[in-house]
Amino acid sequence: MLVDLGSVLREQRQVGHRITDITIKLLFTRCLRTLKITLKLTHSLSRFIRMYNPHEAREDTVLFPALRKITSSSEYDSLGEDFEEK
């Protein structure tokens, strides 16, 4: 189960990076005032939110509790610091 979850979370993270790249490009488009670009930006942000909500929920309810069970407190804290840096 956790292996499958890891694959899903990794795939979601990759999608999130692609959506973020699109969003950033749209934000720096000079013609943001056009309806077409504004709609693309709105769609991009909506896609990110739709992907991120279940992603975060799975991390919080399944992944992190399981990780906490198999690591010591110091290892868990160290991983948290590593994640923050990245």
Residue 76's pLDDT band (cuts 50, 70, 90): confident
When comparing pLDDT for 21 and 31, which is higher? 21
Domain count along the chain: 1
Look up the domain containing 13 and give its range.
2-85
Q: How many CA atoms lie within 13 A of 7 on its CB side?
A: 3
> Which helix (H) or strand (E) segment is 30 a member of?
none
Give residue-wise pLDDT tens across range 38-57.
888 899 999 999 999 999 99
